Amino acid sequence: EPEVSALSLDGKHGAKIRYTYYPAAPASSLGHNNRFSQTLIVFLNGLMLPRSSWDASINAFLEKRTKAGLPYPALLSYDRYGQGDSDRDPGDVDPPPCHGHDIMSAVRDLRQFTLQIWKEHLQKSSPTQSPCLVFVCNSIGCAIARLFTQTYPGTVVGMMFLDSIMANSDYTSIWPNPDA
C-alpha cells in the first residue's frame, strides 16, 4: 500500500508538499535481496497535471512486477508547490501575479525533497549510501529533470522523457520550410 503524506522542506516550514510513496519490494516477498533497494524512481508531472496522473502507470508497473515475482524499487510521485494538493510556495508573495520561485527553485526543492524522503524512508537500510535516482517525467517535468541532472551531477542514474519540451529551441527551426 502506498503512503500518502505531506512534508515541509527544510527552510520552507509551514508549506507542505503532498506526495505518494510506494516502498520497494521487501526481500522476504522475493526470496532474495532486492537489488533495487537503493533506487528511487521519481515521477515528475507536467505543469497542469497532479501527481495522481501517474497512478495508473505506477499501479500497472507494480502489478506486472509483483505477478512475475520480480523486485521493484521505491516509487515517488509528488505535487510541486502550487500544484495539485500541495501548498503554495512560501517564496510567492502577494499580490499576484508575483512569483518568488522559478524553475531553478523547483530543482532545488526537488533536491531537498528527495534528500528528506531518502532520510525518512530509504536510508534506514543503508545509512552510508545515497539513492540511485531515476526520473520518469512529462512536459515541464522533463526540463526540471534535465536541470537537476546538470546541477547535481552523479545523482541521477536514468531518465525517461514523455512528451518532452525543448528548452533550447526557437521552435521555428525544427519544422521544415513548406516553401523549400
As a whole number of Å, the end-to-end CA separation of the chain is: 57
Report the chain's mean pLDDT, rounded to a whole number: 84
The predicted pLDDT at position 37 comes to 75
Range scoring the smallest mean pLDDT among 7-16, 49-58, 74-83: 7-16
Per-state percent for the chain, helix, strand, coil, to nearest 5: 30, 25, 45
The arithmetic mean of pLDDT across residues 89-103, rounded, is: 68
Q: Cite the beta strand spans of the chain per DSSP E.
A: 3-8, 16-22, 39-44, 74-78, 132-139, 156-164
pLDDT at position 106 is 92
| SS3 state at 70 | coil
**pLDDT (tens digit per residue) in 19-71:** 999 998 886 655 556 677 788 999 999 988 999 999 999 999 999 999 998 88
Taking the C-alpha atoms of residue 58 and residue 94, their distance in angstroms, rounded to an integer, is 37
Q: Quote the pLDDT of residue 124.
A: 61
Cell readout for 126 is 543503508
135-178 tens-digit pLDDT: 999 989 999 999 999 999 999 999 999 876 665 555 555 556 66
pLDDT tens digits, 98-132 = 556 788 999 999 999 999 999 888 766 555 567 78
